[in-house]
Amino acid sequence: MTSRGVGRWVVGGLWLVLSVTPVTGQDLDPRAYARFPVKMRFVIGGFGYSDGGIVTDATSPVQDAHATVESASLGAGTSFGLFGQTAQIFAVLPYSWAQASGLVGGQATSITRAGLSDMRIRLSVLVHGAPALTRAEMAGLPRRTVLGTSLTVVAPTGQNDSTKLVNLGSNRWAFRPELAISQPVGERWLVDAYAGVWLFTANDAYYPGTSVRTQDPMSAVQAHVSYTLKSQAWAAFDATFYTGGRSTVNGVPGPDRQSNTRVGATVVFPVGTRHSVKVACSTGAVVRFGANFTTLSVAWQTGWFGSGTAPSR
């Protein structure tokens, strides 16, 4: 196989791992469309650790691939009224450290990267069941079915060198429109379901700087079942399925179409009146191609509005 051919296979393997900004449908975000008051401000700092193998085609020259990715992130957001409905905007910027190793054409190789990853910005609107209300106005209201929609944008702010095959940044934009329903069950249970699709622009300066890489849309669905504990704490079981996303380099399609399932769990508990801690873990349940990671993340959120109670999300 030519070096260019080997390069395309590597794209289908290690590139998926070190493009660590979550643009792959692997998101697991329970209660993302839960009701919340307007005029809320929050800041989130988090750290994530992912480790595992990379599933490739049996005929690929990339075999026995393994990767570890650590990522620290800082984000901020606010809630507000939009056409009488509750809306929220949030932005997060990660810094990542990644190490990947494997056999490429029978030769042992390894890659290490460190730097900024791509920024993510999300605008969500609760279009039904959540009129724009203050914290005081929401007090005592019964729980209701909520319908929501959102647009997530991933901007190419990450580290990228067109002379390198593998980068932390993708050097292209990505957009995910999404629809969601959040259904309360009884006094403590909440069931969420989301459906969205990732859309990608082209990378016109792909390795070695003169190639064009495109990617097919990737569909993704999520489902979450959560239970509210005492004092605003809650726990959730999470699952997602994503499919598509096949890449093409200079008109030549790659072997990297995905059709994977992940499952996980999330626990959130308050710390004082303004803070909360979120702990989440997930792992691949069915992985036919791409990163088969086990991921653990911890985030600290500080929120304030009115008298300053920690957000319940």
Per-residue pLDDT of 102-126, as tens digits, reads 877 778 888 889 999 999 999 999 9
Number of domains, the chain = 1
- If you average pLDDT over residues 14-41, what whole number do you get? 70
In the block, residue with structure tokens 């993708």: 170
Residue 22 confidence (pLDDT): 43
For residue 257, being part of any structural domain is answered with yes
Asked if the structure places residue 14 within a domain, the reply is yes
Give all strands of the β-sheet with 203-206 in edge-to-edge order. Answer: 203-206, 211-215, 247-249, 252-253
Residue with tokens 């030519």: 2
Handedness of CA 291, 21, 97, 88 (dihedral sign): negative
Average pLDDT estimate for 166-182: 93
- What integer is the mean pLDDT of 198-206? 94
Residue 5 reports pLDDT greater than 50: no
Percent of the chain whose predicted confidence (pLDDT) is above 70? 87
Q: Phi/psi zone of residue 74: left (φ > 0), alpha (ψ -120 to 50 degrees), beta?
A: beta
The pTM assigned to this predicted structure is 0.88
- Asked if residue 141 belongs to a domain, the reply is yes
Average pLDDT (138-165) is: 91
Lowest mean pLDDT among 188-197, 241-250, 284-293: 284-293
Between the CA atoms of 93, 268, 80 and 201, what dihedral angle is there, to the nearest 10 degrees? 40
- Give the confidence band of 13 by pLDDT, cuts at 50, 70, 90: very low
Instruction: Give residue 147's domain range.
Output: 3-304
Query: Is 312 a domain residue?
Result: no
User: Lowest mean pLDDT: which of 104-113, 135-144, 221-230?
Assistant: 104-113
Pairing outcome for strands 85-104 and 119-131: antiparallel
Q: Which residue bears the tokens 């959040």?
A: 182
For residues 296 and 11, give the distance between their C-alpha atoms in angstroms, rounded to a whole number: 25
Report yes or no on 131 lying in a domain: yes
Mean pLDDT for 268-283 is 92
Measured distance CA(73)–CA(231) in Å, rounded:
27
Contact status, residue 231 vs residue 35, Cβ threshold 8 Å: no
pLDDT at 17 over 90: no
Residue 238 pLDDT level (bands cut at 50, 70, 90): very high
Q: Is 64 a member of any domain?
A: yes
* CATH (domain of 142): 2.40.128.130
Torsion angle of C-alpha atoms 136, 141, 144, 149, degrees rounded to 10: -10
Residue 9 in this model has a pLDDT that exceeds 60: no
Per the domain annotation, does 252 fall within a domain?
yes
Q: Encoding tokens for residue 101?
A: 């190793």
Percent of the chain past pLDDT 90, that is, above it, reads 58
Strand residue runs (E) in the chain: 41-55, 62-82, 85-104, 107-116, 119-131, 146-155, 174-185, 189-200, 203-206, 211-215, 218-228, 234-244, 247-249, 252-253, 258-271, 275-286, 290-304
Q: What local confidence, expressed as pLDDT, does residue 7 receive?
A: 40
Residue 310 lies in a domain: no
pLDDT at 15 over 90: no
